[in-house]
Structure 1
Amino acid sequence: MLRIKKLDIFIVKSFFLLFIGTFFICLFIFMMQFLWRYVDELVGKGLEMSVMAQFFFYSALTLVPLSLPLAVLLASLITFGNFGERYELLAMKAAGISLLKIMRPLAIFVCGLVGVSFYFQNVVGPIAQAKLGTLILSMKQKSPEVDIPEGVFYSEIPDYNLKIAKKDRKTGMLYDVLIYNLRDGFENAHIIYADSGRMEMTADKQHLWLHLYSGDLFENLKAQNVKAQNVPYRRESFREKHSIIEFNSDFNMVDSDIMGKQSSAKDMKQLEASIDSMKLVGDSIGRQYYTEVSQGNFRPSYTLSKEDTIKIEEADIRTYNVDSLYEIASLAQKQKVITAAAGKAENISNDISFKTFQMSDNDTRIRRHRTEWHKKFTISLSCLLFFFIGAPLGGIIRKGGLGMPVIVSVMVFIIYYIIDNTGYKMARDGKWVVWMGMWTSSAILAPLGFFLTYKSNKDSVVLNADAYINWFKKIVGIRSMRHLFKKEVVINDPDYERLPGDLDRLTTECKAYMAKNRLTKAPNYFKLWMVGEKDDEVVAINEQLESLIEEMSNTKSVTLVNTLNNYPIIPVSAHIRPFHKYWMNLLAGVIFPIGLFFYFRIWAFRVRLSKDMERIIKNNEQIQFIIQNINK
């Protein structure tokens, strides 16, 4: 029987509350970005609240699958970051619970979210996408509301240009009205100027009712003779004039079947059926075009008898001087031949271009349907992949709240979006195989999630800045300095009687090591990769040095403590071959550029080790002098 532990309930509850909040935040952000794309289609058209409500509702449904992965990433980062910051993750691991067991209930929950995302992609998404596309197309076709600005020409009314000098918004009166009626063309424009006027919409919202007062009308009359120098016109003065202008400002929904043919408005079964149909149509059209090209335009348009055909097939064009035949032709025959050849070549080119366009267009539609088919899986699976990235990162970073987790999640999502969008465009344009382009982002995220989960489960310092700084210092050769201070409480004082003799022995060993190894000279390149793995003499010298420093650090003399800080920190393995494995050192030596880099690096460290030995000898002398003063 399945037993649900209290710890699992606690983990799921902590994650679920954060997931709900982050989901609506992500959905709101994506909706604002989506609204910004279509803001020009919404502003100034007087759309009803019901239409706007449908727009936001359908856009929210289409953006749910895209919001889920980012919400999972952000919620998992914050959840495990809070666990780490409050030491709850440490307590769980101290109780013998591994990170994988901690993640197990959330992994099951996220698998359910994967199913929800796939349901939205395959069932809800296509319906919402068709409705949203139809709604957006209807918004684009709707005429804007009449809101004529002051001092500029207004051209939103079809076939009319209006300009007013001043407008009274309370009474609706327009002053100094200038109207260009371009229904009969620009050259035959009807120009109306009125001292004042008023414009209102009819009840059916299909016409504008224009009332003009104290004005003139100018109209060009078409001349009977096109070449006439003077074109007559007609002028009409009026005290009051009323006219109706056709202007449909009502919102009319277009046919929903228009968007039903788009790949984004189909489920998987419909996509598979459409792909099979388009492949069948493409194959049949391709065979037909091949037959037409092989038997049509490239063959002679005239008919030949069987004997003439045999003669032409047996004839060799190289035996005929075509240029001479062309030269003896008359000018009219040459022009006729050139015109016929150019016309036939142009017809063939246009015919092939049309056939190529039809075939490429069919291939493009097939690729769009295939990318949409794969997209339903990749976006759904990204929820699980983002969880296995966010949860380990939260455990490693150990920072909760909306600070660091938001920054990290946004960076990860941007990288994912760039890779996914690049793969999608490559697959859509036919530059990559469809499945390769659509699954590239998942193929990159999966190893990253596995790596982070493994490192977090092993309590690795993969994101610890100090570890990378120390590694860089080790590669470059930067060493830390000693920082010894006088101790407030000293239990055992140094043995000042014995220390001078130990310092003499250390000095002797340093001198013997320097004379034996000749550290300042360049090492033998070939013997360098064959020597032993450890330098036991340097290790012994370093252990003896650290032991003496540890004992002398218990002194009450500030001068002695300050002198101890002059001792160098010796890296005991920097001056020998770089790798622990024998074959890796041989490989580094064989690969000349890499071996040359390590060779000069080791040589520099040998020279530095020689200087360290000299510093130790000199510092030993100073400490011996200080001890003599202490003994006095």
Structure 2
Amino acid sequence: MKKIHLLIIKAFIRPFIATFFVVMFILLMFFLFKYVDDLIGKGFEWYTILELMYYQSMVQISMALPLSVLLSSIMTFGTLGENYELVAIKSAGISLQKAMRPLMILIFALSVSSFFFSNYMLPKANLKFYSLMYDVRNKKLAFLIKPGVFNNSIPNFSIRVDRKDLNGTLYGITLYDHRGSNGIPKIIKAQEGEMNKTSDGNYMVLKLKNGVQYEEQANNNGIYNPRQVLIRSRFKETEPKFDLSSFKMNKTDPNAFGNSTVMLNLKGIDRKRDSLSKVIDTLNRNTTANLSNNFRQNNTAKGYTKVKISPKKIGDQILTSIPSGARKQALETANGIVSSIAQNLSNGAPRYKDLMGELIFTSVEYQRKFTLAASCVLLFFIGAPLGAIIRKGGMGLPVVIAISFFLIYHILTTVAEKSAREGSLNPIFAMWIAFIVLTPLAAFLTYKATVDSALFDVNYYKQFFMKLLRIKQKED
């Protein structure tokens, strides 16, 4: 390998790693902002949130990797052009394609790695992420006391406070204890209190001060007694304990989500697609059989007699062909048949729609395994020529141009995928439409960079318009 190739690879690796981690950090921040309501105020351990972010970072690689390739390729060749290193390379007899060759090999290797990642690692990451996210969303709310609102988070207890200060001291506390066997709660009212956890974290202690407790004595024989005993006791301090075992998050078995399409590799998607096709075929056959039964001929003599009778012709007015005494019964029978058909169709249509939607989604996810790898190659052949043309490095103009092209790619893919899932586009065409649109652009930019075109040179366009103005002035 020539030294010039090592120079280009080193110039590409540094911005690629930097942009990859920056993009990953931004995407993780978007994730936290999106799910902040599910994570804040539930008392999760720090390692649970880190585990969730780790799995999410694996999921976000499908978006971070192509954008990083585009950014780093523009920055690399933009910096080489800005420092006149591309001019030196071309003056040494090395064309742009030869200079890009080591990076092409690197990008192809990266694309193959991304394919294996999306086929083997990404389904497992999705499985872990969605199972953990399911537990997070279904975990009970942490004991977050809001003034003026009854809190029923702890089983068998209801707590209400009038106000609380910044130090966590509660004032005007009303506590309902529903653990009694007679169905009548024990009521505790206190002027103030503090809330703390025990050292092992299994119990919460509510330290109450200056209060009164009301408790109605249970009746053993179950008969109403108008002279029921009510016990009232005052206290200066008391410390009721609450069991917090219900607040601990029990992890769901990830295998419960294993049949979801995003958690399958190519073989699993193929098997699921075949299963869905068989279910749809069975549903269609059953629907056809049920509907055809409503259009059978009620003729018991058909096939069992040699008497030949010419078929009776029925005109537009069907009721006139039916004897007057049987018309009412015929109408009732027809109405029942139509209602039965409508009922069968209304029952089967939602099921058929769900199955077709899932079948389309399997095709979309199948193609997505390949589009991640192909997007790296496509965006490299857009970014590298762009950097050579604009001849500007750093984080300014290259970043703006890279994000613009990536947004075009992402919007095309997202809109086409949505149309495919709605049944408006073929799933294969929808997942590759961005490549069909942007591949000619990549070829055009590569050609322009090869011939040293001043495609984004403002001075070139100024001189061009000045020449046009001079020509018009001479003609006048």
Output one character per residue of 1:356-401: Cα deviation in whole Å (capped at 9) or x when no partner: 1212211111111111110111121111111111111111111111
Question: Who is 1:594 aligned against?
Answer: none
Output one character per residue of 1:53-73: Cα deviation in whole Å (capped at 9) or x when no partner: 211211112222321111111
Structure 2 CA distance for partners of 1:269 and 1:312, relative to 1, 3 Å: farther
Give yes or no for the alignment of 1:306 onto 2:301. Answer: yes
Question: Who is 1:259 aligned against?
Answer: 257
The secondary structure found in structure 2 opposite 1:376 is: helix
**Does the 8 Å CA contact 1:207/1:248 hold for their aligned counterparts?**
no
The secondary structure found in structure 2 opposite 1:431 is: coil
Question: Who is 1:397 aligned against?
Answer: 390
**Does the 8 Å CA contact 2:204/2:244 hold for their aligned counterparts?**
yes
Cα offset for 1:281? 2.1
Give yes or no for the alignment of 1:12 onto 2:3. Answer: no
Aligned pairs for 1:140-155 within 5 A? 140-154=137-151
Q: C-alpha distance in 1, partners of 2:283/2:83?
A: 67
The secondary structure found in structure 1 opposite 2:249 is: coil
Give yes or no for the alignment of 1:445 onto 2:438. Answer: yes
Give yes or no for the alignment of 1:194 onto 2:189. Answer: yes
Q: C-alpha distance in 2, partners of 1:314/1:473?
A: 89
Question: Who is 2:133 aligned against?
Answer: 136
Query: Which ranges of structure 1 fall in alignment gaps of 5 or more residues?
Result: 219-232, 481-567, 571-608, 613-632
Question: Who is 2:170 aligned against?
Answer: 174
Give yes or no for the alignment of 1:165 onto 2:162. Answer: yes
- Counterpart of 1:194, as a letter, is K
Q: CA RMSD in A?
A: 3.9
Question: Who is 2:22 aligned against?
Answer: 25
**Does the 8 Å CA contact 1:74/1:405 hold for their aligned counterparts?**
yes
**Does the 8 Å CA contact 1:158/1:247 hold for their aligned counterparts?**
no
Question: Who is 1:366 aligned against?
Answer: 359
Structure 2 CA distance for partners of 1:198 and 1:21, relative to 1, 3 Å: closer
Structure 2 CA distance for partners of 1:341 and 1:59, relative to 1, 3 Å: same
Cα offset for 1:342? 6.7
Which of the residues 420, 431, 443 maps onto 2:424? 431
The secondary structure found in structure 1 opposite 2:394 is: coil
Structure 2 CA distance for partners of 1:180 and 1:443, relative to 1, 3 Å: farther
The secondary structure found in structure 2 opposite 1:306 is: coil
Give yes or no for the alignment of 1:106 onto 2:107. Answer: no
Query: Which ranges of structure 2 fall in alignment gaps of 5 or more residues?
Result: 217-227
Question: Who is 2:225 aligned against?
Answer: none
Structure 2 CA distance for partners of 1:316 and 1:180, relative to 1, 3 Å: farther
Q: Which moved more, 1:242-251 or 1:320-329?
A: 320-329
Structure 2 CA distance for partners of 1:145 and 1:319, relative to 1, 3 Å: closer
Aligned pairs for 1:602-613 within 5 A? 609=475, 612=476
**Does the 8 Å CA contact 1:176/1:193 hold for their aligned counterparts?**
no
- Counterpart of 2:286, as a letter, is Q
Cα offset for 1:112? 0.9
Which of the residues 54, 66, 77 maps onto 2:63? 66
**Does the 8 Å CA contact 1:180/1:189 hold for their aligned counterparts?**
no
Question: Who is 2:85 aligned against?
Answer: 88
Cα offset for 1:422? 0.8
Q: C-alpha distance in 2, partners of 1:447/1:24?
A: 30
Output one character per residue of 1:482-526: Cα deviation in whole Å (capped at 9) or x when no partner: xxxxxxxxxxxxxxxxxxxxxxxxxxxxxxxxxxxxxxxxxxxxx
- Counterpart of 2:442, as a letter, is G
**Does the 8 Å CA contact 2:162/2:171 hold for their aligned counterparts?**
yes
Q: C-alpha distance in 2, partners of 1:312/1:251?
A: 78
**Does the 8 Å CA contact 1:176/1:195 hold for their aligned counterparts?**
yes
Give yes or no for the alignment of 1:386 onto 2:379. Answer: yes
Structure 2 CA distance for partners of 1:192 and 1:328, relative to 1, 3 Å: farther
- Counterpart of 1:276, as a letter, is D
Question: Who is 1:529 aligned against?
Answer: none
Question: Who is 1:271 aligned against?
Answer: 269
- Counterpart of 2:170, as a letter, is L
**Does the 8 Å CA contact 1:375/1:438 hold for their aligned counterparts?**
yes
Cα offset for 1:285? 2.2
Q: C-alpha distance in 2, partners of 1:314/1:239?
A: 97
Where relative contact order (Cα < 8 A, 6+ residues apart) is larger, the structure is 2
Q: C-alpha distance in 2, partners of 1:234/1:29?
A: 64
Cα offset for 1:36? 2.2
Aligned pairs for 1:414-429 within 5 A? 414-429=407-422
Structure 2 CA distance for partners of 1:459 and 1:168, relative to 1, 3 Å: closer
Structure 2 CA distance for partners of 1:319 and 1:412, relative to 1, 3 Å: closer
Q: C-alpha distance in 2, partners of 1:190/1:388?
A: 72
Output one character per residue of 1:14-51: Cα deviation in whole Å (capped at 9) or x when no partner: 11111111111111112222222222211111111221
Cα offset for 1:238? 5.0
Question: Who is 2:37 aligned against?
Answer: 40
Structure 2 CA distance for partners of 1:400 and 1:342, relative to 1, 3 Å: same
Q: C-alpha distance in 1, partners of 2:302/2:473?
A: 103
Question: Who is 1:463 aligned against?
Answer: 456
Output one character per residue of 1:391-439: Cα deviation in whole Å (capped at 9) or x when no partner: 1111111111111111111111111110111111112221100111000
- Counterpart of 2:287, as a letter, is Y
- Counterpart of 1:455, as a letter, is K
**Does the 8 Å CA contact 2:287/2:344 hold for their aligned counterparts?**
no
The secondary structure found in structure 2 opposite 1:149 is: coil
Cα offset for 1:449? 0.9
Question: Who is 1:412 aligned against?
Answer: 405
- Counterpart of 2:428, as a letter, is W
Question: Who is 1:603 aligned against?
Answer: none
Bigger radius of gyration among the two: 1
User: TM-score by structure 1 length?
Assistant: 0.63
User: TM-score by structure 2 length?
Assistant: 0.82
Aligned pairs for 1:181-260 within 5 A? 192=187, 194-196=189-191, 213-215=211-213, 237=232, 239=234, 248-260=246-258
Q: C-alpha distance in 2, partners of 1:9/1:328?
A: 93
How many residue pairs get aligned? The number is 452
Cα offset for 1:236? 7.2
**Does the 8 Å CA contact 1:205/1:250 hold for their aligned counterparts?**
no
Aligned pairs for 1:542-557 within 5 A? none
Q: C-alpha distance in 2, partners of 1:210/1:304?
A: 82
Cα offset for 1:204? 9.4
Cα offset for 1:306? 3.2
Cα offset for 1:346? 4.7
Structure 2 CA distance for partners of 1:466 and 1:254, relative to 1, 3 Å: same
**Does the 8 Å CA contact 1:110/1:384 hold for their aligned counterparts?**
yes
Q: C-alpha distance in 1, partners of 2:231/2:340?
A: 55
Q: C-alpha distance in 2, partners of 1:97/1:438?
A: 37
Q: C-alpha distance in 2, partners of 1:389/1:383?
A: 10
- Counterpart of 2:252, as a letter, is V
